[in-house]
Structure 1
Amino acid sequence: MSTIEPLPEQMKAWAWAKGRRAISLSDQAVPALAQHDVLIMNKAIGLNPVDWKFIETDLGDRWSHGHIPGVDGAGVVIAVGDPSNQHWLGAAVCYHQSLYRSGSFAEYTAIDVRTLIRLPEQMTWMGAAAFPCPVMTAWQAIEKVPVQQGVDILITGAGGGVGRILVQLARARGFKVTAQASRKRHSELYELGADLCIESTEQLAQSFYAIFDTVSAEHAEQLASGVEANGHLVCIMGRLEKAAVPVFSTAISQHEVALNALHGTGSVVQWQRFTQMGEKLLNQIYQGELKGPDIHVVEFDQLAEALREFKRNRKALKYTIEVA
């Protein structure tokens, strides 16, 4: 292992209690590095819906007691498991961690080196930590659908973090975007590139080449009849377990989006493309060409309360945690 400074033995981290389905701040051992790992000294942490869902529901039963949650973070590479990765030492990066590894809710996190996204110079830690999950989820979603210039698509829950990025990516690809969101979000969504904003899908009488649903699998299934023949239904929040339309009817394609899936099944080539696109999109945000999430900053020792507050108000702001 190569390091740029002596490593402590202990760190502060938020650990999960299996019985209580809650997290608490405690002292933990600094993670050991496998050969393919690097150690990140976290500067900021991004909160996401998947965090509280695993902490508070039976999804977390896949974890062991004492697991450190958190998928998004940003910081400095201070150690590498393999000397061949020394060129990463001192690099400013952000990352999306596997749900099944020790996560970002800590002062230090061990990350697979192939998942690192290098930051532009002068990028803020908060902006970087807010980036991976919402932006790369939106990118994965839009990549599911072949581009056809000028065709109509619908994005539901467009006022949320993923939805706002989706509107921009869809507009850049030449789609004609209808965005469903609360009325207070319409002005911003028009500025981001939406052609039409609506409050409810009940207002719709047309069909769409593609529908991107950010609400739930049940909601996506209800919208399936609004997809035109041979069109696309993209379920971002949840997963459609069965065909949403009758056989030999509109023959739509159903898609699921699972950012975590790459950690278990992604090839080297897929990860290279993921990180290359991550760096490209992050640069677009830094240059002001793509509008990232609106950010609310909270101190590290207030993370648990921030996560509860984020759950109640998750559509309004992207909560990020400053690590001292």
Structure 2
Amino acid sequence: MSMYSEQSAVTVLGLGPMGRSLAGAFLDAGLRTTVWNRTPGRDHELVDRGALGARSVEEAVSASALIVVCVVDYDASDAILRPEGVTAALTGRTVVNLTADTPGRARDTAEWAATHGIRYLDGAIMTPTPTIGTPAAVFIHSGPEELYREHQSLLDALGGTHTHLGAEIGRAAAYDIALLDIFWTAMAGYAHALAVARAEGITARELAPFAKGIGAILPPIFEGAAEEMDRGSFSGEGNPITSAVSSMAHIVHTSEAHGIDAGVMRAAEGMARRAIGRGHGADGFTRIAEVLGRR
């Protein structure tokens, strides 16, 4: 038996892989779930599981008080939400936008929503599709806390942990951008490392255990760097920026000797040399974040 009332209902707009996972989690939780996708046909499996397939966006948003949007970017969500008929149907309802984009776009959408009497929360999904509906899922949200609390029990149906980051609507997107910065920079570094290793006759499988070891040392480094950044004190004891630049130069030299593009590491080396040029060579690597933030 569902823990939700008969009136509990949610609409999911956007049925890419993540949107389908969100809708499936709502269905598994016993929520009356309406779905819509710009490209027809993606709702068949969900409809077979009990979802209501809407024929139009207006019909989809009219079916529920809570509308969850998950599309490729805010250009796509604007194209769905901002036509006059859809905007009118959304008046008085709550939109939770789980579409990834920039903090500025989140703020712009919140202003548009307020102008049209639409209640608005922004959010981000920090884990891949297989985690949705499981304890491993991670969601972050921002916007009016009362509005978040009102819909929290329905959002909890998506599984995992949900964190409200504050009333400022752009905070979830800002966290998302910062965290994806870590992820994609790391993945770019790993892809580059695999290319260099292969050029030196090392297979990816041979490198992987040692790569995991590098990953394992990062969490305490992140904690220490965060304390340094907030404190404004960047100790270089044991590993100053000058030492980091030396190892970066070795990576660039080895890469380019094999004809491998070293642009990413050259960029990192350039940031480090900028810090050194401003007199911070004896500081720790986190000093670079402070230098980059100067205007």
> TM (normalized to structure 2)?
0.33
Larger relative contact order, structure 1 or 2 (CA cutoff 8 Å, min sep 6): 1
The answer to which structure has the higher helix fraction is 2
The answer to which structure has the higher strand fraction is 1
Task: Please tell me whether Structure 1 or Structure 2 has the larger radius of gyration of its CA atoms.
Answer: 2
